[in-house]
Amino acid sequence: MKPWHKVILAVLAVLALGVSCAKKAEGPTTFEFMHTYVEEDRQQVIQGLIDAFQAERSDIVVKQVPVSEDAFWTRITTLMQGAKLPALIDVSVDQARLLAASDVVDTAACSRVVNDVGPGSFYAGATSVLKGADGAMFGVPLTGWVQGIWYRKDLFAQKGLPAPEKWAEILAAAKAFHDPANKKYGIVFATEASDFTEQTFSQFALSNDARLFDAAGAPVFTSAEMKEAVAFYRDLYKYCLPGSNGFTQVKDAFAGGNAAMVVYSTYILGSLFDQGMADKVGFAVPEGSRPASFGMVSTEVITNSVPQAQRDAAAEFMKFLLRKENYIAWMHMAPGGPNPVLKGVASDAAYLDHPLLKAYGQTAVDIPEAFSDLAMFGFQDGVTHPKMGEISAKMIIPTALNKILVQGANLDAELDKAQKAMEDVVAAQ
């Protein structure tokens, strides 16, 4: 070997050693996971899952960043403006859409997680609401809550009534149980000018194929289908607790035994369990021309504000959380309110092995099926209308409903006013 060959080999060896040392010096990939689980017991559960993940993946470090819910979006907005978002954020579907609209989501990473876990492993509604116009995922579904009609199945059995699913069945049952002189009401649901009322009404409207927008994106709040839905809601109100009612009045009336039915989310399960009513309650999804359940999906967004290594690490952590044993541990952090979006978990013995879920029996198994028919105003043909958030924020729909139901205003006149208000929002730049 010639002397200069030896020199070259020596230099290459030194360079290789330097690269090797540099790689060792880099250490594990660290990323932040921001969420709103500020309760100490929930943070402990999350940390336990993080520790288990890191035991498998010593090359990744996960740091959880809990932020109170009232300050959460402000924090996200501030970090987004400074391009300093963490790699992984736990948000709602609406918040995920806002992040996607701001081009801060790594849709490829989110899509990869769903594809690796298996799209068919999720309830269809849980993934469809997180797909962009191009079919890419702008978030990974983790858990979700659904809304429907909770009814006293023991009282229904006494009267020989079927589960309140069809519109006619719901109305007939409400009438059969209504006894206001003794403070007993056929049904209770939201009637105040709030987003709760919009959510409640949306189930009935969507079950009648009443959409807010036509194919061109123009408001159609005065359609025949929407008028039928509002008229039905008004008829049902005759057998409801009167007045402008919100979360507290509605929940307390049903949990207190003053109503046979209530329209509410799965977050009522804890209160009913505490009242010893779990075995007396059934769950139904209203069905007009089709069944339609309203709900929200807890969404994990992988951002593009961090280096690729952190995005990849966040994706690996998400796949770990969606592994059955880890997923059940996450679900047991707050059983009842959040429900599994993975098919098969709801009937899994390990998932059902919790006092609250055992108390509800088959109902706990059936509830997540509502994710199959998940629907919401403004989301149609796989796309959310860009002005839907503003329409909801202005309380246009619940204000109209409150006037029609509680104040006795003319149905057609109020729908016309709401239609005009929506048109103004859509037309505004």
d(CA 371, CA 292) in angstroms, rounded, equals 9
d(CA 305, CA 106) in angstroms, rounded, equals 9
Which token pair is 380? 């149609």
Q: What is the pLDDT of residue 17?
A: 45
Q: What is the pLDDT of residue 12?
A: 41
Average pLDDT, the chain: 91
pLDDT-derived band of residue 2, with 50, 70 and 90 as boundaries?
A: low
Lowest mean pLDDT among 21-25, 268-272, 293-297, 415-419: 21-25
Determine the average pLDDT of the residues in 124-143.
Answer: 90
Q: What is the pLDDT of residue 129?
A: 86
The percentage of residues in the chain with a pLDDT greater than 70, rounded to a whole number, is 93
pLDDT at 10 over 70: no
Q: What is the pLDDT of residue 20?
A: 43
List every span in the chain annotated with CATH 3.40.190.10: 26-145+296-368, 146-295+373-427
pLDDT-derived band of residue 235, with 50, 70 and 90 as boundaries?
A: very high
For 97, 205, 320, the CA distances from 102, given in Å and listed in that order, are: 9, 30, 28
Domain 26-145+296-368 superfamily per CATH: Periplasmic binding protein-like II (3.40.190.10)
Judge residue 375's burial from the number of C-beta atoms within 10 Å of its C-beta, 0-12 exposed, 13-18 middle, 19 or more buried: buried
What's the pLDDT tens digit per position in 329-364? 999 998 888 899 999 898 999 999 999 999 999 989
The percentage of residues in the chain with a pLDDT greater than 90, rounded to a whole number, is 77
pLDDT-derived band of residue 294, with 50, 70 and 90 as boundaries?
A: confident
Q: Which CATH number fits domain 146-295+373-427: 3.30.930.10, 3.40.50.300, 3.40.50.10860, 3.40.190.10?
A: 3.40.190.10
pTM above 0.85, yes or no: no
pLDDT at 97 over 60: yes
d(CA 65, CA 86) in angstroms, rounded, equals 9
What's the pLDDT tens digit per position in 243-288? 999 999 999 999 999 999 999 999 999 999 999 999 999 999 999 9
End-to-end Cα, the chain, rounded Å: 75
Please list, in sequence order, all residues whose beta carbon lies within 8 angstroms of the beta carbon of residue 69, skipping any fewer than 6 positions away: 36, 38
Judge residue 256's burial from the number of C-beta atoms within 10 Å of its C-beta, 0-12 exposed, 13-18 middle, 19 or more buried: exposed
d(CA 304, CA 91) in angstroms, rounded, equals 16
User: What would the DSSP string read from start to end of 235-263?
Assistant: HHHTTB--S---HHHHHHHHHTT-BSEEE
Cβ atoms of 115 and 123 within 8 Å: the answer is no
Determine the average pLDDT of the residues in 23-31.
Answer: 75
The DSSP call for residue 166 is: B
